[in-house]
Amino acid sequence: MDLSEDEKAFLKELVKATRQRPHVVSWADRDGTNRSTTLTAAEAVRLNQLAHRLKVSKAEALRQAAHIPVGK
């Protein structure tokens, strides 16, 4: 493959994530819409850490995150 090191790293991470069991978190959006977010193992670990630090569930952490304004 004639790819840059950055592109090879990107593809390698995609393959690695695809081989892992996905984690699905169901949560309610700020308007009450039910959502499901699929996370890689690394994302699930990070969300667990954030939720634990905030002393809320993973679903509540995502609901609160929906209120964070998107930057321009």
Residue 47 lies in a domain: yes
**Is 7 within a domain?**
no
Residue 55 lies in a domain: yes
d(CA 36, CA 54): 21
Q: Are 35 and 26 in contact (CB under 8 A)?
A: yes
Residue 6 lies in a domain: no
Is the residue at 15 inside a domain? no
12 assigned to some structural domain: no
List the domain range (segments joined by +) for residue 37: 20-72
In a domain, 36, yes or no: yes
Report if residue 9 sits inside a domain: no
Strand residue runs (E) in 11-72: 23-28, 34-39
Per the structure, the count of domains in the chain is: 1
pTM for this predicted structure: 0.72
Over the chain (72 residues), the average pLDDT of each successive run of 10 is 90 86 92 93 93 96 91 76
Question: How confident is the model over 1-14, as pLDDT tens digits?
Answer: 789 999 999 999 88
